[in-house]
Structure 1
C-alpha cells in the first residue's frame, strides 16, 4: 500500500487528536503482552506500522480485557483496535478482514469425565469464560444447557475455574496451556470449539474511504509477510496468518 492513497480526510479520520490512539488488549497473550513499562506483540507492531502509514505518532491505550478495548473504540477514546470479529461487536465496529486465526479451547481437570468438546454443553455443567471476550459472545449464543460463569478478564478464567470448582474453562488455547502448566492437574480437550478471526477495527462512524484504507493496509501486511514475521519475532505459537480476503 503506497502513501499516495492517503488523503487528508483519511489521516484526520484516524488521528483526530493529532496522534493515532491504538487500543491494545493484553488480556490475549497472542496479541500483546506487557514487558515492564512497555507493551509488545503483533497488535503493537501493526499499530505502529499503521501510524507510520498515516505519518503520525502512535499513542497506546492498554486494557486488560477485550471488552474494555472494544469500548474504547466504540466510545471514541481510541481510533483503532484489535478484536475478534463478532456480529454483536459489528454493530459499532468496522472490521478489516482477519489477519490471524486463533483457536479457542476448553480446559478441564485431569480426572474429568469429559473427553470431547461436544460433551461440554450439558445440564449441570458450569463453564467459565472471560466476560465480554469473543469466547463469551460466541458461547452465549451457542451454549444451550451448560451454565456460563464469567470471570473479570480472560487471563483470570482458570483461576476463577479453580476457585469455584467449575467443570470447564474456555479461552485462548495458549493461555489455557500456560495455566495448565502453572497449576498442574489440568488438561485441554482435543481440538477447538471455535476459531477466532482476529482483525483490526475502527468506529463505524468513520468515512468509507478511511475504513477501506484500513482494510487495504491489513491485506498488504498479510501479503508482504509482515504479519507472519511479527508472529515469529514475538515468539507466538498457535496463531496462523489468515488467508487473503475472499479465500
Structure 2
C-alpha cells in the first residue's frame, strides 16, 4: 500500500480549515472563497503528495477537534495543546500567534499578573487554545466562555466582563474601532499553530514531520506563512 493511500485512503486529502482564525484563514466577503496561510499550506502539502484535495470548513478549532475521531479530515491546522493531544497528533509549530488581554481603558488592570484576581471575569472563546491554556493557569479569576462571534467589546463596555482574552490581531481590531478599550502590552501566551493528524494516522504524522523539516530548511515555509 502506497504512502498516499495510507495517508488519504479516499484518494483525496481532506484538510480541516478553521475559518474562525482570521490570522491563518480569510474568507472573501464577496466570492466566499477561502484563502490564507492554511490554504497555502494545504495546496503545498497536496502538491508534495501529488494528490487532489478538498477543504473541509469549520467555524472553530473546537469543532475541528471534536471531529478528530469521526474520519472527517486527514490533516488539520489547529493550535497545539495537551488536552487536544488525546485525539490528535501534532507537528512542531509552524507559526506563532500572540494571545493577549483586552480591557477597558479605565480598567485598573495594567499587567497580565493582575488579571488572575478574585472577582475578575475573563471572556474566552469556548474550546479555543487560549481557553484551554487559561483554564489550567488562572486560579482566581472567573472564566466566561463565549460561543460564536459574540462581541466582547460590547461585553466590556457593558461591564459584563472585566477582561477579554484572544489572539492579538483580533483584539487589536476591537481597539481600532473602540478607543475606550486597550490591549495589555505583553502577551499572556504564544499560541503554537501546528498541523494535526488523527492519532490513528501515524503515517500522516510522520509525513508532516518530514514535510515541515524540508519546508523550513528550504525557506518555503516563510513564503507560505507570509501574512498579507
Give TM class, smaller chain.
over 0.9
Alignment check: 8 A CA contact 1:129 1:157 kept: no
Alignment check: 8 A CA contact 1:103 1:172 kept: yes
Aligned length: 225
| Paired residues for 1:192-203 under 5 Å | 192-203=187-198
Corresponding position of 1:21: 14
Corresponding position of 2:59: 64
Measure the CA separation in 1 of the matches of 2:151 and 2:137: 19
Measure the CA separation in 2 of the matches of 1:13 and 1:167: 49
Question: Structure 1 stretches of 5 or more lacking a match?
Answer: 1-6, 236-247
Corresponding position of 1:96: 91
Range that drifts further, 28-37 or 185-194? 28-37
Task: Choose which of 38, 42, 54 in structure 1 pairs with 2:37.
Answer: 42
1:185 and 2:149 matched: no
Secondary structure, counterpart of 2:133 in structure 1: helix
Secondary structure, counterpart of 1:74 in structure 2: coil
Measure the CA separation in 1 of the matches of 2:136 and 2:66: 20
Corresponding position of 1:213: 207
Alignment check: 8 A CA contact 1:23 1:72 kept: no
Alignment check: 8 A CA contact 1:14 1:210 kept: yes
1:126 and 2:121 matched: yes
Cα-to-partner distance string for 1:211-247 (whole Å, 9 max, x where unaligned): 2111111222222222211333x41xxxxxxxxxxxx
Cα-to-partner distance string for 1:124-144 (whole Å, 9 max, x where unaligned): 001000000000000011111
- Pairwise CA distance, 1:164: 5.8
Corresponding position of 1:240: none
Alignment check: 8 A CA contact 2:116 2:141 kept: yes
Measure the CA separation in 2 of the matches of 1:164 and 1:216: 49
Question: Structure 2 stretches of 5 or more lacking a match?
Answer: none
Secondary structure, counterpart of 2:160 in structure 1: coil
- Pairwise CA distance, 1:13: 2.6
Corresponding position of 1:228: 222
Output the TM-score relative to the length of structure 1.
Answer: 0.86
- Pairwise CA distance, 1:159: 4.5
Measure the CA separation in 1 of the matches of 2:47 and 2:122: 42
Measure the CA separation in 2 of the matches of 1:107 and 1:115: 10
CA RMSD of superposed structures (Å) = 1.6
Cα-to-partner distance string for 1:186-221 (whole Å, 9 max, x where unaligned): 1000111111111101011013x4321111112222
| Paired residues for 1:143-154 under 5 Å | 143-153=138-148
Output the TM-score relative to the length of structure 2.
Answer: 0.93
